[in-house]
Amino acid sequence: MANNYKDDENATSGECKDLETIHKTSDNPLTTTTSYNGKYVDFYDHINYITLSLYTWFIAANNNFAQSSNNNNEIPFDDREWQVNDLHAGRKRAPRQNEFLQLLLENPRYCSYICWLDKNRGLFRILQPDQVVTLWEKVKGRQTQRKMNYETFARGIRHYYNAGVMVKTNKKYTFCFKYSAQ
């Protein structure tokens, strides 16, 4: 079960009310308690108040954490790990798309994004195409108003068929390098 930090407060309150109807009786002394100011209050109302207060405080205090936890697959981006040494120019540069895929496959942090199906044959599958495309945009420093989609990304990969770098597989999200990726 995944954590969801934007749970419905009414659902939680409803569950507490269900418990209240099961356990609350007029002659049960355990259903009343003294509050911080010394007055007797209903136990379940007191617990609901505390729970709601803590829930509200947690969300307010951890707002950034709660927002970033919506995407559990989000991995911190570091531009330096994507730089490729260009032997001809003698400097580092952003990778080409096939180099990007190689780097992505070699990095174990991104195993939820892409994986090898047969490393010896160079066959791999993109598991989370939207995340791969978003990462590709970050790596290339793409600064356009239009967001790239997977179809555009895959079209770029298919250009490597004519160059002899990639081999056609005819399967969705599955691609193959022509050479062995050992």
What are the residue ranges spanned by the domains of the chain?
9-68, 79-177
Chain segment 96-137, per-residue pLDDT in tens: 999 999 999 999 999 999 999 999 999 999 999 999 999 999
Q: Kindly state the average pLDDT of the residues 53-77.
A: 51
pLDDT at 5: 45
Confidence of residue 28 (pLDDT cuts 50, 70, 90): low
Q: Which residue has the higher pLDDT, 144 or 17?
A: 144
Cα–Cα dist 45/16, whole Å: 9
Question: What are the backbone dihedrals phi and psi of residue 99, each rounded to the nearest 5 degrees, phi first?
Answer: -70, -40
Taking the C-alpha atoms of residue 131 and residue 104, their distance in angstroms, rounded to an integer, is 12
Tokens at residue 181, please? 């990726």
pLDDT of amino acid 22:
47
Q: Specify the amino acid at residue 137.
A: E
151 vs 30, higher pLDDT: 151
Per the CB < 8 A criterion, the answer to whether 77 and 138 are in contact is yes
Q: What is the mean pLDDT of the chain?
A: 74
pTM score: 0.57
**Separation CA 95–CA 139 (nearest Å):** 8
89 vs 167, more confident:
167
pLDDT value of residue 125: 97
The more confidently predicted of residues 78 and 128 is: 128
104 contacts 110 by C-beta, under 8 angstroms: yes
Residue 16 burial (C-beta neighbours within 10 Å; 0-12, 13-18, 19+): middle
In angstroms, rounded to a whole number, what is the distance separating the alpha carbons of residues 85 and 92? 4
Of the listed ranges 34-48, 52-66, 70-84, 146-160, the one predicted with least confidence: 52-66
Whether the CB-CB separation of 114 and 102 falls below 8 Å is answered with no
CATH number for 79-177: choose from 3.90.850.10, 3.40.50.620, 3.20.20.70, 1.10.10.10. Answer: 1.10.10.10
Please check the confidence at residue 162 and state whether its pLDDT lies above 70. Answer: yes
